[in-house]
Structure 1
């Protein structure tokens, strides 16, 4: 009986000893200062809401540049302007200037935004008309937040794909429903943290079936966005460009196919539609 208890104790103790040795081997490397950590979870126990106050308190104790280990993920926290400026060469080394140029010049330049000024005016007029219609009989309560969400997404998607997906007058009801459901799911997963990102064992056992749901959502989003790109390509070849973001990127694809692949275009759509 005592031998069995001793064996169980060793099985529990050995992983902690292995983790301790691993941490000691890592500590020999030149990392920025960091607070005390625990085996497996690292510094996750230090993270308490609100996070900005937690990081402020830690930086006051360990300096403007500190290292944390969130489970199995090593991170570096830079919490001052001067320190961030010192790290600028490193940040630029790992930046993607091509993607930045696409966003700043090809999509959100002053010229491109001015082209869509009439589009924005039209969506605002639609909103005002809806408000005036609802209040035509008498005073009425209006939930403004949902109306502004509809306005924002309709402006974005008309700029991106030339389509409206929100409101009662969305042209394709089923496609609009699919788009709204996709954005709702993407927003849900983007605003939550997945424990498996920090503790790999949870990813291996697919904790709460998160990974399977995420893969299924990714496949659905990719299929939907590819349909938008293919539809724009077909319309562009048959009826000419509508000057939407997708049409503009497809025109650039003709001259630089290696830079403006369908995958790149879909990524940009998803990025700006989820803002």
Structure 2
């Protein structure tokens, strides 16, 4: 919500999409989440930009393999730096900005595969599909049921702090 509140022009598109697809007669349901492509873009970009844990769980290679130009011997502990992938300027145009465009249209699926908050492939979190649906339903209902706006003209500070879970420097809701 904080990322959306900082870009009011894009923020308006989310409730508009919900209104056009679901209408005003009923509340959004879990089965509606997959129909809301703009809402999905918001979730993917939030997961990319606000990676909860920068390093994925460590894994041990079960066989010798080559990754890129690196030889990884059997038994090596491998750490994936998801934060570095999410902030790589070779993969993302202006990686520190909240941009939904990479996830829209034909290239959207390619960019979705670069977002790793739940791990990747057979080592991915088994609860990832449930988490995606719950996030979509929760965000969708918040957008459908409430009118949101910033309380001041200043953007909400999204600066990351130090720590394993990368908290914000200024917690949301605290005015300094």
* TM-score after normalising by structure 1: 0.21
**Higher normalized contact order (CA 8 Å, seq sep 6+, divided by chain length):** 2
Higher radius of gyration, 1 or 2: 1
* TM-score after normalising by structure 2: 0.31
